[in-house]
Amino acid sequence: MFEGLGRFIHRGRKPLLIFTLLFAVLSGVYGVGVFGDMKPGGFEDPKSESRHAALLAEKAFPQRAPDAVVVYRNDDLTVDDPAFQKAVTDKVNSLPRSVVTGSAHFWMTKMPEQVSRDRHATYVAMNLHGSDDNIKEESYKAIKDKLDVPGFKTLRGGPVPTGHQAGEEIGEDLGAAEGFSFPVLFLFLVLVFGGLAAASLPLLVGGLSILGSMAVLRVIAQFTDVSVFAMSLVTVLGLAVAIDYGLLIVSRYREELDRGRTGSDALSRTVATAGRTVVVSGITVAVALFGMTFFPFAFLKSMAYGGVAAVVLSVFFSIIALPAALAVMGPKVNALSLRRKKRAARTPAPADGEGAWYRLAHGLMRRPVAITVVTLGVLIALASPFLRIDFGANDARQLPNTAEGRQVHNMLEKDFDGDGVKSIDSLLTLAGDATSKEQGAALQAYADKLGKVPGAKGAQITGAEGTTARVSVKFDGVAVSSPARDLVNDLREVTPPPGSKAYFGGETAVFDDTLDALADTLPMMLLYIAVATYILLFLAFGSVLLPLKAIAMNLLSLSATFGILVWIFQDGHLADVIGFDPTGNIEPNMPIMLFALIFGLSMDYEVFLVSRIREQYDLLGEPTAAVATGLQSIGRLIASAALLMCVPLAAMATSGVLTMTLFGVGMVIAILLDVFVVRILLVPAVMKLMGRASWWAPGPLQKLYSKYGIKEGDGVEAPDSTERVPVPS
């Protein structure tokens, strides 16, 4: 099948390139509009109790939790001066009511919490027009430049301004990351290939996949919510995976040219080997990323949409457009070489004891038990901090200290006594009129019970309309923390008034519902990824045990990565080196996204390595020799691909937004651990211990593999004598 595809591409190379150019133009023109169709947020479960509480509150009462918090400070005046009051209240009253649907300032509420300790600052809580985060952000953008008061320091914070500032920061950081990554990647590719022509081809695939993914996301955004954060994944993953696949295809094509093949023979052999590997790898990565759609959060679903689009398009262009370009270029793929001497017509496989990667594999397989035990011990030790992970939701602390939203957060924490708008709200649907004397007494009794729950600092009725009422519970501490979450669950145990039903809302309730939804869905996602990956790897390698080995190693590598991330980002180690302020917790969506990405990309390198080992095993018929010669032939390529993938990820790690920093650092750590520890050190040692059992399958499964396996398709190439390398057992 794959060799036939290669011959077809060679025959239709020019029309395929014209189609590729047309696709790039159309997808670029259409896809650039995706930014206007994307939405912020997406971190809440739309079917949760807290969301139901929010809908009840929106219908019955003015919003209690503000969308924006604007701080006004004057070093010469205090809030007790009439000039201070007039300046702020005049500004608030001048804002259009069609945009600012509600506001609360100190001179209205008389709440001491709204005044700083030195009385030179106060904040105004505002609610913005809009039924979702996207519309509210548009409302904010309409007034954000109208909030300044002459002579006052004005700072914009709260959920909507903070989300807007984070989006702007991410957009700037992504632009800087792309501007840095492309030239650096090109230079690295020139070093890998030794020529300008070959180095440009993987970048071409990366650009095509990014443009295509933008168009796909815009189409999806017409039918469902797509988070603005999805573009960060599309940009990085599209570029990184496309370069990996492009590197594999171009390297194999040059290898076939060095062996004396030309024309359709060289191309068909490239597609049959490297092309097959790319397809298996891409499907495996896409399957893992698709697992994020199991969760109810628009953020994770959006990441799945963008990630799957980027990977699938990278595979498509790597096995269609890139081979077509190679067919047109032919031997000119080696043009513009920077090396003085061209490679020999053929590079023989290393003789016994020759080749750095060969010698490394041979050395590892001499001591397989020791290598396995030591490597596993190191990975388990690195994973141990993961056992004490503490989750926390995104807030203004994800922004750099230069951002207004972060400054507002810092001022409220340091300069004000308590949070006047922080509460856990119980929204009740009642059997009768909430304003009646009987219901009022029942509500007050319920509020008294809530206020006496350990951790609560009092409760009061803050709304009664029709058959809906709201009781707000005050508390100290961080709203998105384990103690606050425990308080929500304790409050839920309090029996509401007879005939009523209570729905708890507010930031803490949202956080609790988020963690519950993640915990409920995670087992299904893990089972799906494990089963789907096992089936794909069996169809690729025809082995019963190798897929189990791959999954176990992936989980170990992932655990080690998460342990390091907890040590860095939760505990605060290396904060000064990396450049972030530790929050003491990890945003819960990030491990899920990283799991899907890292699991898929780890299988990426597993497929790269084991495909070449399988190819050598079919040629040599001896498992130890296959591992040594397989690693010799692909080791440098895998190491180069990993380092190249780390370039855009490391660029993202320099972002001023904490979640992007964590993502970039986590991916770099995961890739380096997986390639240089798991694939290069652990895989050869474990496969030596497994011996021929690596390729074992019972008779019925062998027949299944023979009929449906994802193989090269047109038979195994006859080996040359130079490829038979004796390796001592």
pLDDT at 337: 72
Report the C-alpha gap between 121 and 119 in whole angstroms. Answer: 6
Rounded average pLDDT over 405-425: 86
Tokens of residue 708, six digits: 């449906």
User: CA of 352: how far to CAs of 29, 60, 363, 367, 625, in Å?
Assistant: 55, 80, 12, 18, 10
Measure CA 683 to chain center.
26
pLDDT at 212: 94
Phi/psi of residue 383, nearest 5 degrees: -80, -20
Rounded average pLDDT over 613-623: 90
Q: Dump pLDDT digits (tens) for 96-116.
A: 999 998 899 999 988 898 999
Cβ neighbourhood burial of 597 (10 Å; 0-12, 13-18, 19+): buried
- For residue 482, which amino acid is it? S
Rounded average pLDDT over 706-720: 61
Is a pLDDT exceeding 50 seen at residue 344?
no
Answer for the pair 460, 440: CB distance below 8 angstroms, yes or no.
Answer: no
- How is 329-364 classified by DSSP, letter by letter? HGGGGG-SB-SSSPPPS--PPPPTT-SHHHHHHHHH
More confident residue, 557 or 134: 557
pLDDT at 723: 37
Half-sphere exposure for 87 (CA within 13 Å, toward CB): 23
Report the C-alpha gap between 230 and 633 in whole angstroms. Answer: 36
H/E segment holding residue 156: strand 153-157
Name which of 36-45, 461-470, 561-570, 648-657 the model is least confident about.
36-45
pLDDT at 445: 95
Is a pLDDT exceeding 70 seen at residue 346?
no
Q: What is the mean pLDDT of the chain?
A: 89
Phi/psi of residue 72, nearest 5 degrees: -120, 130
Confidence at 717, pLDDT banded by 50, 70, 90 = very low
Measure CA 644 to chain center.
18
pLDDT at 63: 66
Answer for the pair 350, 725: CB distance below 8 angstroms, yes or no.
Answer: yes
Q: What is the largest CA-CA distance in the chain?
A: 97
Q: Dump pLDDT digits (tens) for 303-342.
A: 999 999 999 999 999 999 999 999 999 999 888 776 645 4
DSSP β-bridge partners for residue 71: 123, 155
Q: Dump pLDDT digits (tens) for 465-498.
A: 999 999 999 998 888 888 999 999 999 999 999 9
pLDDT at 181: 87
pLDDT at 352: 44
Answer for the pair 377, 146: CB distance below 8 angstroms, yes or no.
Answer: no
Q: Which of 351-355, 615-619, 717-721, 725-729 has the highest mean pLDDT?
A: 615-619
pTM assigned to the model: 0.86
Rounded average pLDDT over 114-136: 89
pLDDT at 392: 84
- How is 388-435 classified by DSSP, letter by letter? G--B----GGGS-TTSHHHHHHHHHHHTBSS-TT--EEEEEE-SS-TT
Is a pLDDT exceeding 80 seen at residue 41?
no
Confidence at 718, pLDDT banded by 50, 70, 90 = very low
Q: Dump pLDDT digits (tens) for 86-98.
A: 999 999 999 999 9
Report the C-alpha gap between 219 and 224 in whole angstroms. Answer: 9
